[in-house]
Amino acid sequence: MIEIPDQFKEKFTGLLGQEEAGKLLDSLAEPSKKAYRINSLKEGAVVYSQEEAVPGIPNAYYGGVSGKDPEWTAGMVYSQDPAAMFPAQAIPVKPGDKVLDLCAAPGGKSTALAQKLQGEGLLVANEISPSRAKILRENLERWGVSNAVVTNCDSFALSARFPGFFDAILVDAPCSGEGMFRKSEDAIKYWSQENVDLCADRQREILTEAVKMLKPGGYLLYSTCTFSPEEDEEIVSWLLDEYGFKLLPIAAEKAAPGRPEWGNGDASLANCARFWPQDGVGEGQFVASLQKAAGEESFAAEAGEVFSPVRKNKDKKKKGKGKNKGNRSSLERPSKEESCYISEAIAGFNWPESLASWPSQMLKSQDHVFVPALEPEQLKGIKVLNNGLELGILKKKRFEPSHQLAEVLGQVDQERVVDLTEEEYDHYLHGESLQVNSSLKGFVLVSCRGMIFSFGKLSGKGQLKNYYPKGLRQ
Ligand SMILES: C[S@@+](CC[C@H](N)C(=O)[O-])C[C@H]1O[C@@H](n2cnc3c(N)ncnc32)[C@H](O)[C@@H]1O
């Protein structure tokens, strides 16, 4: 391991005292903690040990997972630092809410937020880096999320489109990464006080835009994986002073409280949660759960723009004329003939309840057919990687269902499934076609140990054509 910088040691000895700083530095020489979450949107038994639960996080356990296992390819599990599970757990989100994850890649927190929404409402998952946004999209796809919009832009572009729009916003800010010292040599190599200060400036910049997008009374969750007060208590103090937020307590038994004296002295800063590696939960993490004052003028109302997500709450579904009808003039609906190809190709599959009305919601953009999570008009000027559920692609007089659809259909029991042996599964992941024992014909879902991870196409004589995406093959 690379040597921890002396300036870091001195800084934290000054802040924590000799004894506590000694514990922190000793813990940085220990191996990092591995853990994983089980996807409650899908059913299935995972083989990994569930002996040691991560305290305070439902369906989360200590232990490693492999990206080659069906548990992973079928989106049953997500590998995540246990302390990093707390931000998404702490933010109050319920099905039907409109939620923004502003700095979202690779998607640990977005997948957890999608679980809380249970397919109802909207998740906008944004990432500024194009390569990381692609990974974010893949992770949400694997998780079987159909009510998310994955965007690739900066916070300014988003705030211009979504004033006063969101019920809850998670800002897991880019930071100096001191809490990642055990996991990443780069975090140590590039650490400097100058970088800490630069990160703090960028965090204020990102949060300024986040605040504009939050409804009055909405929730803001701010988190970092760093220890420096400049990026933690000082930022939260600024939010309290500048915007009148209220700090909410966080249920995290093993976390240490925030340090009011490291910020503006406001006693409520103790409501923040600090995870230190020496506490034994996981890596370093800082979490602050805030609520915006209610009754403030809504930016959305001022701007005269109030949009709704396409997916409604189950109990709020409108019968007859849909509210979203009529504002899609610029978008095409598949023709009758195309709708027939689509229905034919995907007949016989069971759909999650939240997507029950997909046939009346689908739209076409060139050859791509999708069920939007948000009216596309609202996303003008924003780089969108995915809006809702990509159903598939229209080819000459036929339709090919998408990989995302396979992962979404994996949420519910299916009859049109071919379950592969572990050996067959390995071949399928490589991209090979297989001879299997099945009399089914046409598109089928492909699983291993009962976990659906792909589409395939059967010839009727047991020849299974491989539809596992080329970019994901291993
Ligand atoms: C701590 S990571 C996010 C981890 C993620 N929330 C998760 O749980 O998987 C911070 C992310 O913010 C991104 N980022 C950096 N500057 C940004 C900006 N101005 N707006 C949005 N995202 C930004 C980084 O590329 C990085 O992916």
Q: Which atom of ligand 1 is nearest to the CA of 175?
A: 1
Query: What pLDDT does residue 45 have?
Result: 87
Alpha carbon 264 to its chain's center: 32
- Cα within 13 Å of Cα(268), Cβ side: 15
Which residues does the annotation place in the binding site? 103-109, 127, 154, 172
* Residue spans of beta strands (DSSP E) within 249-383: 256-257, 273-275, 285-291, 363-365, 368-371
Query: Whose Cα sits closest to atom 2 in ligand 1?
Result: 174
CA of residue 127 to ligand 1 center, whole Å:
6
Query: What pLDDT does residue 388 have?
Result: 98
Q: Which atom of ligand 1 is nearest to the CA of 101?
A: 6
CA of residue 323 to ligand 1 center, whole Å:
34
* Residue spans of beta strands (DSSP E) within 262-366: 273-275, 285-291, 363-365
Whether the link from the prior residue into 5 is cis, omega within 30° of 0, is: no
Cα–Cα distance for residue pair 260/258, rounded to 1 Å? 6
CA of residue 431 to ligand 1 center, whole Å:
32
Query: What pLDDT does residue 319 have?
Result: 40
Whole-prediction pTM = 0.93
Other beta carbons within 10 angstroms of residue 75's beta carbon come to 27
Query: What pLDDT does residue 312 have?
Result: 56
Q: Which of 80, 127, 286, 287 to mutate to test the pocket of ligand 1 (most atoms within 8 A of CB)?
A: 127
CB 283 within 8 A of CB 275: yes
CA of residue 111 to ligand 1 center, whole Å:
15
Catalytic residue among 153, 175, 199, 225: 225
Cα–Cα distance for residue pair 110/210, rounded to 1 Å? 16
Query: What pLDDT does residue 320 have?
Result: 38
Domains annotated on the chain, with CATH: 31-291 (3.40.50.150), 414-474 (2.30.130.60)
3-state secondary structure of 290: strand
Cα–Cα distance for residue pair 164/293, rounded to 1 Å? 13
Query: Whose Cα sits closest to atom 27 in ligand 1?
Result: 105
Cα–Cα distance for residue pair 110/172, rounded to 1 Å? 10
Q: What percent of the chain has pLDDT over 90?
A: 90
Q: Which atom of ligand 1 is nearest to the CA of 127?
A: 22
225 catalytic per annotation: yes
Give the residues surrounding ligand 1 with Cβ less than 6 Å away: 84, 102-109, 127-129, 132, 154-155, 172, 174, 206
Query: What pLDDT does residue 330 have?
Result: 54
Query: Whose Cα sits closest to atom 17 in ligand 1?
Result: 128
Cα–Cα distance for residue pair 377/382, rounded to 1 Å? 10
Cα–Cα distance for residue pair 272/258, rounded to 1 Å? 5
CA of residue 132 to ligand 1 center, whole Å:
9
Query: Whose Cα sits closest to atom 25 in ligand 1?
Result: 129
Which residues does the annotation place in the binding site for S-adenosyl-L-methionine? 103-109, 127, 154, 172
Q: Which of 81, 103, 113, 137 to mutate to test the pocket of ligand 1 (most atoms within 8 A of CB)?
A: 103
Structure-token match 């042996």, residue found: 421
CA of residue 364 to ligand 1 center, whole Å:
31
Low-confidence ranges of the chain (pLDDT < 70): 1, 296-330
